Amino acid sequence: MKIRTGIDIIEVDRIQEAIENLGERFLNKVYTKSEINYCNNTKNMKYQHYAARFAAKEAIFKAISNEIALNEGDILNKIEIINRQDGKPMANLEALQIKNIESMDLSLSHIKKYAVASFSILFK
């Protein structure tokens, strides 16, 4: 068994600028349709939700980079962040077909200017 962790912090402004300047090109490169729906369906914190998911993808990449042959830019929209009914975020890595995953845990937090993510993965 081995455990890997990843952590990331991002300025919400950077993600807001990318979305405003690059629009769908950026959104589709980074996010899945269900993530876009989740972020767009919130009232005041749309860009914080987008930034938290970006941080989550970076944190996940840090934890799994030894297990995959792809570059960071190629995997962002293959990692999906979903929220359980109670709000807890979970990582869906099915599209990456990583072998021997025992369990994973993801935690997100955001304030006005920053979003952070912490991810752990346990391999069999």
Ligand X SMILES: CC(C)(COP(=O)(O)OP(=O)(O)OC[C@H]1O[C@@H](n2cnc3c(N)ncnc32)[C@H](O)[C@@H]1OP(=O)(O)O)[C@@H](O)C(=O)NCCC(=O)NCCS
Q: Name the residues that contact ligand X, by CB under 6 A.
A: 49, 52, 83, 86-89, 108-110
CB of 59 to ligand X, least distance (A): 12
CB of 52 to ligand X, least distance (A): 4
Tokens at 30, concatenated: 């980074």
The pairing of strands 89-92 and 101-110 is unpaired
Closer Cβ to ligand X, 49 or 57, answer by number: 49
Closer Cβ to ligand X, 68 or 77, answer by number: 77
**DSSP calls for 7-56:** EEEEEHHHHHHHHHHHTHHHHHHH--HHHHHHHHTSSS-HHHHHHHHHHH
CB of 102 to ligand X, least distance (A): 20
